Amino acid sequence: TLNGKPVGQTVAKSYLMLAVPAGQQTLVSSAENDSELKLTAEAGKNYFVWQEVKVGFIKARNNLQVVDDQTGRAGVAESK
């Protein structure tokens, strides 16, 4: 979710691209756990958020983290 509104689902080797206004943004990714990431978006700037997925007890666990431009673009390039 982005600021409490659903924006999509991811699977392995996939990504979402969102346009957001400048200001405080809250991303939440739900799996076996909820991972919340808050960031302050600046106008005209790109942000890459990596969703790290690990094996959980019943289903996958996840963690959201901002990554640098090079890492983010490489992840998008290897996605479907």
Tens-place pLDDT, residues 8-66:
999 888 999 999 999 999 999 998 999 999 999 999 999 999 999 888 777 788 999 99
Domain of 74 in residue numbering reads as 1-80
Q: Amino acid identity of 38?
A: K
CA distance linking residue 1 with residue 17, whole number of Å: 13
Q: List Cβ neighbours of 28 (8 Å cut-off, separation of 6 or more).
A: 1, 34, 35, 36, 37
CA distance linking residue 12 with residue 23, whole number of Å: 29
DSSP letter for 76, please: H
What is the tally of structural domains in the chain?
Answer: 1
Q: How confident is the model at residue 68 (pLDDT cuts 50, 70, 90)?
A: very high
Mean pLDDT on 70-79? 94
